[in-house]
Amino acid sequence: MDGIAELDFRDFARTAGAVVRYKAGAVIFEHGDEAEDMWIVLSGLVDIEAHDKLIETVGENYALGILSLIDNLPRSSTARAREASELVQINSRKFRFMVEQMPLFGWYVMRQLADRLRATNAAL
């Protein structure tokens, strides 16, 4: 499964959701928000923050907001555009369809969760 890390879902994401542009400093979602969508970064950089601490900065092809779509709990972090960024917003219904019908997307999601867990552990 070494190729999973290199899976690029940006082109597919453009067809699966709405492209949204964020200015530097704009909040994509906040800690405690209800989860209705996930995002895939097309371009730019996004800071992931929790408890007033920068956990990591992610860029192209990274997924945001997937944990809350899986466990149906409020957001556990805040995502903020570090610079002007373009993301694809995918609703929870489409996300579920993609996980159920596209095995490679399922692997991509699991890899994203693993990366985020490692980044959070490193930040502690």
Tens of pLDDT along the chain (124 residues)?
Answer: 445 556 787 888 888 899 999 999 999 999 999 999 999 999 999 999 998 899 899 999 999 999 999 999 999 999 999 999 999 999 999 999 988 988 888 888 888 888 888 887 887 7
What's 67-118 look like in SS3?
A: HHHHHCCCCCCEEEECCCEEEEEEEHHHHHHHHHHCHHHHHHHHHHHHHHHH
Domains of the chain: 6-119 (2.60.120.10)
Burial of 94 (0-12, 13-18, 19+ CB in 10 A): middle
3-state secondary structure of 37: strand
